[in-house]
């Protein structure tokens, strides 16, 4: 999908101006350097997105949800996903690149999306026979290419300044997880609920080994973008990769407006999950996937990578939230009715086989709809920042629409992709694992699960509360995933209120034995102030090691290596922009 800036006009002088003037004009023409074709650094700027359905524009046809006529929410019409030059068909079947996609920011900046619904990091063909280009250089005899190859070809003849990326969800089989959760809801009762959060087929996607594998795959996808741009003639400093994570599409169970009893939750609302599964999705599944994306963005170590935090972008507008509703529930005639953007959902309903014969697609389920896409576009425009791209956290800024017809959003101060601090213990022991806090939260404590030495560890986190004038920590706590599996005696070290972890010391040998946290006060302006040290928790084995700390910023999680015991421990660190 692309939009072009207006073509430049050429003017031509006519009439006889005399021999002297003609000679001067001829000299000028001969002396002028040849015009350069558009390409790296030349021509109107472009934003080109790559990745999956959460950036391609999937579900962008529909503005809100209704169980009435689909025409009442049909914002883009039947050609919504047609992206060939004549808008008569899709270039790649079922990629669903819509005109509502976030890259079309306007203002003299052109947009193109190479993303494809269902894409993973590597190219494949799905069970329906649909080609899904990945973030690679795949090429076949029929002319089909991976998205990195497409980007390279496009960037050679266009001035690409920003490459937004959304990838990873399908690597974790997100669609299959949703299907299983809905199936468990529809095939069990509220008296004897069957939860997907404990299904082995679901949990397998979130095991440490698979998380590590997908971090590596996402990291390689980002590096493939860099290679594509480099081979097209770009230096790292001439463009920016904007890595974005995923929105919370469904609220926690207590905020779902339909009862768990009966089937209204799915048949009316299109959000058939048990409360416990909705909570698990928000506290475990989404943070794990988003953590993998953030970790990969940090591991590439590229100076031109920025991070767009989207996990809170749809707060209050998620599917089945109590604060919004279907058109008919809010007394609205159509998506064009006054206030529709604030009263209806920004996420498409979960659809089942009953969709057959309608204008809806099952693959649109649980994706940002027209309003959601335009909200993200608002944040991408702010991230583009007039050609000086920045990262940040995208949140709702108010009601109504801006001058571009988009929901009002703001791009607040964001956390940089996490990087690893120096660590302690045996850096070659056990298997590696990363345990990040939920998106936009900071590490404020650790719990060691002890044998003789530490058997395993998890982090304790608090949310960052950022306004236009202040930064602080919330009071609610959450825990990271566990690094390692053993240990029966728990001992916790915690920072004081409004302090974050910035370092640690303790005791170690070939294993981690004890830890004391170094905590820094989080000042109201977001800077770090006075330091203090917690009590030491753990055992007495090994030898004392000096402070290991973040070179900049605060800890947002842990890195470790573990087998039967905790072999190695380090911090995952981020800075607040």
For residue range 320-359, what is the model confidence (pLDDT) as tens digits? 999 999 999 999 999 999 999 999 999 999 998 778 789 9
> Measured in whole angstroms, how far is the alpha carbon of residue 296 from the centre of its chain?
12
* Across 474-479, average pLDDT: 92
Decide: 529 and 539 in contact? Cβ < 8 Å. Answer: no
pLDDT of residue 25: 35
CA atoms within 13 A on the CB side of 342: 11
Kindly tell me if the per-residue pLDDT of 10 is higher than 70: no
Neighbouring-strand partners of residue 483: 457
What integer is the mean pLDDT of 362-391? 97
Of the pLDDT bands very low, low, confident and very high (cuts 50, 70, 90), residue 27 is very low
What's the number of CA atoms in the CB half-sphere (13 Å) around residue 283? Answer: 15
The predicted-structure confidence for 520-573, as pLDDT tens digits, reads as follows 999 999 999 999 999 999 999 999 999 999 999 999 999 999 998 999 999 999
Closest residue by Cα to residue 531 from 517, 520, 522: 520
CA separation for the pair 302, 472 (Å, rounded): 29
Determine contact, residues 131/144, Cβ cutoff 8 Å. yes
What angle do the packed helices 147-156 and 208-231 form, to 10 degrees?
20
> Per-residue pLDDT for 13 more than 60?
no
pTM: 0.86
* pLDDT of res. 36: 64
Contact between 332 and 270 (Cβ < 8 Å): no
Q: Give which of 547, 218, 280, 287 is closest to 438, Cα–Cα.
A: 287
Which residues are within 8 A (CB) of 439 and not within 5 positions of it... i.e. 6 or more apart?
245, 287, 290, 291, 294, 309, 311, 312
Band (31; pLDDT cuts 50, 70, 90): very low
Q: What is the pLDDT of residue 2?
A: 46
Structure tokens, 353: 């086989």
Res 562: pLDDT: 94
Q: Tell me: pLDDT of 178 over 80.
A: yes
430: Cα within 13 Å, side-chain hemisphere: 26
What is residue 35's predicted lDDT score, i.e. its pLDDT? Answer: 53
pLDDT for 469 equals 77
pLDDT in the model for residue 564: 87
Mean pLDDT in residue range 47-55? 98
**Residue 538: what pLDDT?**
95
Contact 420, 573 (CB under 8 A): yes
Average pLDDT over residues 94-110: 98
Mean pLDDT of 415-430: 94
pLDDT at 21 over 80: no
Query: What does the pLDDT look like over 255-295, one tens digit per residue?
Result: 999 999 999 999 999 999 999 999 999 999 999 999 999 99
Closest CA to 46 of 238, 322, 283: 238
Tell me what pLDDT residue 289 has: 96
Cα separation, 466 vs 469, whole angstroms: 8
pLDDT at 481 > cutoff 50: yes
512-526 average pLDDT score: 96
pLDDT in tens, 410-422: 999 888 888 999 9
Please determine, for residue 467, whether its predicted confidence score (pLDDT) is greater than 80: no
pLDDT at 440: 87
Q: Mean pLDDT across the stretch 38-55?
A: 97
Residues shown for the chain: 577
Give the span between the Cα atoms of 369 and 62, in whole angstroms: 6
Q: For residue 577, what pLDDT is reported?
A: 80
Contact 247, 372 (CB under 8 A): yes
N-term to C-term CA, the chain: 32
The helix-helix angle for 208-231 and 286-299 (nearest 10°) equals 40
- Model confidence over 219-255: pLDDT tens digits? 999 999 999 999 999 999 999 999 999 999 999 999 9
d(CA 294, CA 385): 21
Domains of the chain, earliest start first: 45-412 (3.40.50.1110), 419-574 (2.100.10.30)
At residue 123, φ and ψ (nearest 5 deg) are -65, 140
Residue 439 pLDDT grade (very low, low, confident, very high; cuts 50, 70, 90): confident
Residue 26 has pLDDT above 70, yes or no: no
438 confidence band (pLDDT: 50, 70, 90)? confident
* Partner residues linked to 436 by β-bridges: 557
Mean per-residue pLDDT for 476-488? 92
Nearest to 480 by CA among 429, 445, 431, 432: 445
Q: Percent of the chain beyond pLDDT 70?
A: 94
Average confidence (pLDDT) over 197-204: 96
CB of 102 within 8 A of CB of 376? yes
- For residues 362 and 576, give the distance between their C-alpha atoms in angstroms, rounded to a whole number: 39
Mean pLDDT (the chain) is 92
Q: Which residue has the higher pLDDT, 26 or 144?
A: 144
Q: Go through 488-509 and write b for each residue having 16 or more CB atoms within 10 A of its CB, e for each that does not.
A: eeebebbbeebbbbbbbbbbbe
Q: What pairing do the DSSP bridges indicate for beta strands 554-562 and 566-574?
A: antiparallel
Q: What is the predicted pLDDT for the residue at 109?
A: 98
**3-class DSSP assignment, residue 233:** coil
């Amino acid at each position: 999908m692309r939009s072009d800036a207006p073509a430049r006009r050429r003017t031509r002088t006519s009439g006889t101006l005399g021999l002297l003037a003609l000679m001067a004009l001829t000299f000028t023409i001969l002396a002028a350097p040849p015009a350069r074709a558009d390409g790296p650094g030349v021509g109107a700027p472009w934003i080109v997105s790559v990745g999956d359905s959460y950036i391609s524009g999937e579900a962008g046809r529909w503005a809100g949800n209704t169980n009435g006529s689909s025409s009442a929410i049909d914002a883009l019409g039947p050609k919504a996903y047609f992206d060939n030059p004549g808008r008569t068909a899709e270039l790649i079947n079922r990629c669903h690149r819509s005109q509502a996609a976030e890259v079309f920011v306007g203002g003299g900046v052109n947009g193109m999306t190479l993303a494809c619904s269902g894409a993973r990091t590597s190219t494949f063909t799905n069970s329906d026979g649909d080609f899904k280009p990945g973030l690679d250089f795949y090429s076949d005899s029929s002319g089909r290419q991976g998205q990195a190859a497409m980007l390279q070809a496009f960037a050679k003849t266009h001035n690409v300044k920003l490459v937004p990326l959304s990838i990873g969800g399908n690597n974790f089989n997100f669609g299959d997880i949703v299907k299983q959760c809905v199936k468990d809801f529809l095939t069990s009762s509220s008296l004897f609920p069957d939860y997907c959060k404990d299904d082995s087929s679901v949990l397998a996607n979130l095991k440490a080994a698979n998380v590590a594998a997908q971090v590596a795959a996402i990291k390689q996808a980002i590096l493939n973008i860099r290679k594509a741009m480099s081979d097209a003639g770009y230096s790292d400093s001439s463009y920016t990769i904007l890595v974005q994570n995923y929105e919370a599409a469904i609220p926690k169970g207590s905020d779902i407006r339909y009862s768990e009893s009966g089937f209204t939750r799915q048949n009316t609302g299109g959000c058939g999950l048990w409360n416990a599964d909705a909570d698990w999705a928000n506290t475990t599944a989404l943070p794990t996937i988003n953590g993998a994306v953030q970790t990969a963005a940090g591991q590439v170590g590229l100076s031109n990578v920025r991070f767009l935090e989207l996990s809170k972008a749809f707060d209050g507008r998620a599917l089945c939230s109590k604060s919004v509703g279907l058109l008919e529930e809010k007394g609205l005639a159509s998506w064009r009715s006054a206030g529709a953007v604030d009263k209806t959902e920004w996420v498409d309903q979960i659809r089942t086989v009953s969709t057959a014969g309608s204008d809806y697609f099952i693959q649109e389920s649980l994706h940002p709809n027209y309003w959601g896409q335009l909200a993200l576009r608002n944040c991408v425009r702010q991230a583009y920042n007039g050609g000086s791209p920045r990262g940040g956290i995208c949140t709702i800024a108010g009601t109504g629409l801006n001058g571009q017809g988009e929901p009002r959003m703001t791009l607040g101060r964001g956390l940089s992709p996490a990087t690893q601090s120096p660590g302690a213990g045996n850096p070659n022991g056990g298997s590696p694992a990363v345990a990040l806090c939920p998106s936009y939260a900071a590490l404020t404590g650790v719990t060691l699960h002890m044998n003789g030495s530490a058997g395993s560890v998890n982090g304790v986190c608090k949310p960052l509360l950022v306004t236009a004038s202040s930064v602080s920590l919330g009071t609610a706590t959450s825990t990271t995933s566990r690094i390692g599996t053993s240990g029966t005696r728990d001992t916790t070290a915690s920072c004081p209120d409004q302090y974050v972890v910035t370092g640690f010391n303790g005791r170690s040998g070939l294993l981690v034995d004890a830890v004391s946290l170094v905590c820094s006060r989080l000042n109201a302006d977001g800077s770090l102030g006075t330091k203090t040290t917690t009590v030491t928790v753990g055992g007495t084995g090994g030898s004392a090691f000096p402070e290991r700390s973040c070179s900049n910023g605060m800890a947002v999680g842990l890195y470790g290596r573990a087998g039967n015991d905790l072999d190695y421990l380090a911090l995952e660190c981020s800075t607040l922009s």
